[in-house]
Amino acid sequence: MQAAVNCRDDGEDYFGAHAQDTHAPVQTGFKCYSLCIRGISMEQNGSHRLRLSTRLAYGVGAVAFGVKDNGFSSFLLIFYNQILGLPVAEVGLAVMAALVIDALFDPVIGQVSDNWHSSWGRRHPFMYFAAIPASAAYLFLWLPPTGWSHDALFGYLLILSILIRTLLSIFEIPSAALAAELTSSYDIRTKLLSYRFVFGWVGGIATSYVALRFFLQPDRSHAIGQLNPAGYPLYGYAGSGLILSAILICAFGTHREIPFLRKVPKRNVSLAKLAREMAGTFSNASFIRILLANVFVASTWGLFASLNLYFATFFWELGSSQVANFSIAYLMGAICAFGIAPILSERLGKKHAAMVTFPVGVFTALVPIVLRIFGYLPANGSALIFPLLYVQILISTGCTVSSNILTASMIADVVEDSELLTGRRSEGLFFAATAFVAKAVTGIGIFASAMLLSVVSFPNGARPGAVDPSTIRDLGLVYVPTMALLATFAVTFLKGYRITRESHSESLKKLAANAAMLIDGDASYEP
């Protein structure tokens, strides 16, 4: 593996000798990557295996995104709407606008990271840079100024949403892209990403549990803990501290792998050419299909997460302690997914496994609401309600997280498929798209949930038991078909994904053969 350390320099020498050759960048890349491909073979044969501490550190990095994602999905809407009094449509608009603005930066971050050169490699400089500003921005989101007008508060929410998303992108995109560099194995990638998703869920769930059990407690003025404004600043401090810790643990814990990561040759590339390369990379057929599928997967989960606290508080009339106890079901579901996803990947293949787990998860999440609407469940307060919802959350979470792990691993497999066609490795670009889709969980989800609440005329400042029953029923009636429609679109696009275990293995063999030809002096390869 020592050869991989000098991979970049070797590629630079070759590039300089072929400066006038139009195919030199491709040839340079393959000569450079051949050393890395050989290194991967060594890893799979046991010469270089990822330490458990490295896998854990890689997984811990997702805690930062999990905390942010859970905060945006579960608490942001109810905090700014029900407590601060910002109209629900304005909260949704601010978050959605931030998503659109931030989306413009994600591909840029991915492209810059893919072509970055430093003694710390392509990914780690960005990871270290984001730690302090990202955690600080998240803290201030939950410490809004008092006495501001709705317009000023809207601007405050918009600016901080953009800052948080952008700063976490600077960490998340390079760190997530490490999955495709740490291993090229079809199955090991799924296992590695299982760590990532489980830690992301654990981080978000743990923060939510602590907030509901200890910070958002009822008092004399607030019978419902999640409507008590005093607890949200405490939640902000806890979430900010977790984000900072997770980023630093991930960066330090994977730092030792830098010598074994992929190197790229230095190139003088114009902005126009970079744009063309990005367009060419994103034109990969399997990538387009999995990206579109992930948009609908993320939107479905985002809508569920954004309205989850509304349904718990007003539809089921549960207290904060009961809602907090659901965190155990979420945690158990995520842990089950950690074991289930790799097994399903090995037995069914990633695509077919995702096509099974995702619709089952959505169906399970909708069953209690449908039963309530049609009068098949007892009244709120019955001893049957809590265990029914607990089991539903356990099953739907396990299935949904499994599908998320599988689709993320499917995107990692696109890297070699694209490299075979373009001669470039673009982990950062592909995972930039993944980061954008993950943001759609909160952005599109919060926007859609805000629109649904507006459609049914859900009142501001509502109290459990005081909302018109017809409004509660209408919310369920528009929510269920919307979720079902989004899930149908997701499965439809998943069907179009083409990469299998066999085709992925064949791509690795072709890349190794092409690289070997370049090292042996045969420069005839053209992508």
Task: List the domain boundaries for the chain.
Answer: 2-519
DSSP 284-323: -HHHHHHHHHHHHHHHHHHHHHHHHHHIIIIIS---HHHH
Tokens of 451: 């629109």
So what's the pLDDT on residue 32?
44
So what's the pLDDT on residue 439?
63
pLDDT in tens, 411-459: 888 888 888 877 777 777 787 776 676 666 556 776 788 889 888 988 8
So what's the pLDDT on residue 237?
96
Helices (H), ranges, 255-282: 271-282
Burial 252-290 (b: 16+ CB within 10 A, else e): ebbeebeebbbbbbeeeeeeeebeebbeebbebebbbbb
Residue spans of the chain under pLDDT 70:
1-48, 264-271, 273-274, 277-278, 434-435, 437-443, 446, 515-527
Domain 2-519 sits in which CATH superfamily? MFS general substrate transporter like domains (1.20.1250.20)
Tokens of 353: 């496994």
Would you mind telling me the total number of residues written for the chain in this entry?
Answer: 527
CB neighbours (10 Å) of residue 158? 17
Q: Are 494 and 289 in contact (CB under 8 A)?
A: yes
The model scores a pTM over 0.85 = no
Tokens of 96: 């959605």
Distance, in Å, from the CA atom of 77 to the CA atom of 81, rounded to the nearest integer, reads 6
